[in-house]
Homo-oligomer: A and B are copies of this chain.
């Protein structure tokens, strides 16, 4: 102890292993080989089967040279262009290889779940694509990540086909056709599968058969290696690439289990899309707790209630839509918030037992706050935009761009996304606060407030409103005036929307209102004329 300090001990295989969620799957297959891992309609798998299928997928990909980025020496067949970026050697002598990217375009179904393990087990990187994107955007993503393989559910095959055409057209001769795998669903019409096979795709189950279920996969040597390349949902702008490493996926998966009190053998219903931030990493959490995944091809209220009643669902996630009809006798509700860049949820509005005694409206206000940081997160604060120093925790001071108000109890609350703030003559208006007031109006089901050009104020609030089904929609002019008068009684004068328009609101695949589309729409409108008042 005197010659060498204890901090100086060398790392070795006995005291250091790269963190990766892939081990969770191997463990689940060892501990609960016969427990149900995934139920998808009439298709059911055990953890042993899921592990075997993931190893088959990894093995089959490796046989097609889809791995850390070899030059295709392992037997490429047919039209397939393997990942063939250069293998480089760093100055420290380590191989710095480019990993192949495997894009998956699929709803919540076994293949996408398996891809989260099998693709990184092959040494490749998963890119789970939002199925609600259009062909142009998908083409951008596939080209951006140079996808070596595209796995696509039969329902989305023509969409993928179109995206590949766009990609090829945009690539200026550099396009290399990826390996196309079509995922058939026996509960669906077989015609699209037949069409895909004719177009040269290989069927997913056939592809798995080319792999070895006992495949000896290699965990990452460095936990910093990439497991997934995702893209932001595009709520505020066009998608941005987000790189997740094995370490982060492991930590987030295990934090989920702690924060959500998910005990071993929990049954998780996939109402959240698996492609959305890798299902907030719950995909890997389920393997860590040896639980059961319930996948629904179509997330309908009927299917959700049926799964809750018949399959013993213990947990599910949902995006907030401003409908306040929770049946507290069925479930307790946790409010969580996060971003793709933070592996999904990163704050939780932890409910305190003493709040149970408060009046419902106070409870709702407390619960609407984004709350405190996740157990796996080390830093969360609200800072002043001027000096980046923390703002006082007074529940009033508005601070840094994303996390907006810090309450005296340390809970934060989002007042607005920076892009959604409306700036009439330099005075900021929180569009979220205007919306919160409008939601109190009895006729409003959903509302989104954005900036519209204004002759006098440069920008002024403009409300897009969806009315409740039972509201008479005959006299919309009168309804709009009523809503404006209603907000006048509750908001500062310059916060009151200058105009209201009715109709359905555009939403992302995860149910979030796409404010940037409304903002663009409003921007193109003629400016509001100078007020006579």
Contact = CB atoms under 8 A, between A and B. Distances in A.
A98 interface: yes
Contacts of A373: 27, 30
A499 interface: no
Contact of A5 (B11, B96, B257, B259): B96
Nearest to A256: B258
Contact of A378 (B8, B17, B146, B263): B17
Interface stretch (A223-231, A303-311, A444-452): A223-231
A145 B1 CA distance: 6
Nearest to A174: B2
A6 interface: yes
B263 A5 contact: no
Given A6-B99, A30-B372, A410-B31, A261 B258 contact: no
B7 A99 contact: yes
Interface in A1-58: 1-2, 5-9, 11, 15, 17, 19, 23-24, 27, 30-33
A466 interface: no
A375 B254 contact: yes
B225 A7 contact: yes
A255 interface: yes
A373 B243 CA distance: 30
Given A17-B379, A27-B372, A258-B257, A243 B2 contact: no
Given A32-B352, A261-B264, A372-B30, A146 B2 contact: yes
Contacts of A241: 1, 6
A533 to B, nearest CB: 46
Contact of A372 (B31, B146, B254): B31
Interface in A278-317: 288-289
Contacts of A2: 85, 146
B375 A229 contact: no
A125 B8 CA distance: 13
A250 to B, nearest CB: 9
A144 interface: yes
Contacts of A33: 409-410
Nearest to A354: B34
B146 A6 contact: no
A137 interface: no
A19 B378 CA distance: 9
A281 B63 CA distance: 43
A350 interface: yes
B378 A5 contact: no
Interface residues of A, number: 59
A98 B30 contact: no
Nearest to A251: B19
Contact of A263 (B69, B98, B261): B261
A99 B23 CA distance: 34
Contacts of A378: 17, 23, 219
A224 B5 CA distance: 13
Contacts of A24: 375
B6 A243 contact: yes
Contacts of A30: 372-373, 410
Nearest to A258: B257
Interface string A371-398: 0110110110000000000000000000
Nearest to A224: B11
B6 A375 contact: no
Given A31-B410, A350-B31, A375 B288 contact: yes
Contacts of A6: 99, 125, 226, 229, 241, 243
Residue picked from A24, A261, A265, A353, most chain B C-beta under 10 Å: A261
Contacts of A224: 7, 11
Interface of A: 1-2, 5-9, 11, 15, 17, 19, 23-24, 27, 30-33, 69, 85, 96-99, 125, 144-146, 219, 224-226, 229, 241, 243, 248, 251, 254-255, 257-259, 261, 263-265, 288-289, 350, 352-353, 372-373, 375-376, 378-379, 409-410
Ranked 8 nearest A-B pairs via Cβ: A261-B263, A30-B410, A5-B98, A17-B378, A31-B372, A257-B258, A23-B378, A6-B243
14 contacts: A5-B69, A5-B98, A6-B125, A6-B241, A7-B98, A7-B99, A11-B224, A19-B251, A24-B375, A32-B350, A33-B409, A219-B378, A257-B257, A263-B263
Given A1-B241, A2-B85, A264-B350, 17 more contacts: A5-B98, A6-B226, A6-B241, A7-B224, A7-B226, A8-B96, A11-B224, A15-B248, A17-B379, A19-B251, A30-B372, A254-B254, A254-B376, A258-B258, A258-B264, A265-B353, A288-B375
